[in-house]
Amino acid sequence: MTHDLSEDTRNILGLQLPTDPRWVNLAAMDIQAILTDHAYCEQKAALTCISLIQRYSDREKLVFDLSPIVTEEWGHFRLVLNELKKRNLSIGKQRKDIYVNKLIEFQKKGGREEDRMLDQLLTMALVEARSCERFKRLSEGLDDKYLRNFYRRFMESEAGHYTLFINLSETYFDKEKVRIRWNEWLFYEANIMDSIEVRGDRIH
């Protein structure tokens, strides 16, 4: 995917703080919890894409680019749901997503509609980037070989998703503006990761 990006886009991708190495070990202790949270993350990603399509229906590229992502994210939800069923585990209740809620706090709420749209796209790019990084950790650190391969496939998919949201941002907004705001998001997200508790029952 990255070979299709502008040089500017390639330069601005990159999380500032890696996941705490303890996280994979904690996640491995309760596979039901991590699969449950993963399932709900995929569900929420699909719903968020639907919401963006509805809100920005006049942006043709956004509508056409996000439509297949809705299908893909919902397909991922079903894959994780089936994995739970295969292991005789229940999905359980959705948990409060502290990470995403803190990201939403940073979104511009007033002012120009264009600035709010950019922040919504960059929020999604960041969530997908962090998910990709977490899935990479699981694909390398779990003892269960099947789950390592399972999460390797998800990692590759998420990588494509976060570059898609950066591409959409560059389509509708000045590249330098995107670069500046993305760097602000990266700095803010690193502070979130540094401040929230390391928990193995959450994807984020």
**Each residue of 67-107: pLDDT tens digit?**
999 999 999 999 999 999 999 999 989 888 999 999 999 99
Domain spans of the chain, in order of start: 24-195
Domain 24-195 class, CATH top level:
mainly alpha
Q: DSSP labels for 118-183?
A: HHHHHHHHHHHHHHHHHHHHHHHH-S-HHHHHHHHHHHHHHHHHHHHHHHHHHHHS-HHHHHHHHH
pLDDT for position 14: 82
H-run or E-run covering 110: none
Question: pTM here?
Answer: 0.91
The pLDDT of residue 10 is above 70: no
Cα 152 from Cα 162, distance rounded (Å):
16
Cα 149 from Cα 159, distance rounded (Å):
16
Contact 45, 71 (CB under 8 A): no
Q: What are the residues whose beta carbons fall under 8 Å from the beta carbon of 149, sequence distance 6 or more?
A: 139
Q: What are the residues whose beta carbons fall under 8 Å from the beta carbon of 132, sequence distance 6 or more?
A: 155, 158, 159, 161, 162
Question: Within 13 Å of residue 157, how many CA atoms lie on the same side as its CB?
Answer: 18
Cα 45 from Cα 94, distance rounded (Å):
14
State the pLDDT confidence band at 13, using cuts at 50, 70 and 90. low
**Each residue of 152-170: pLDDT tens digit?**
989 888 878 888 999 999 9
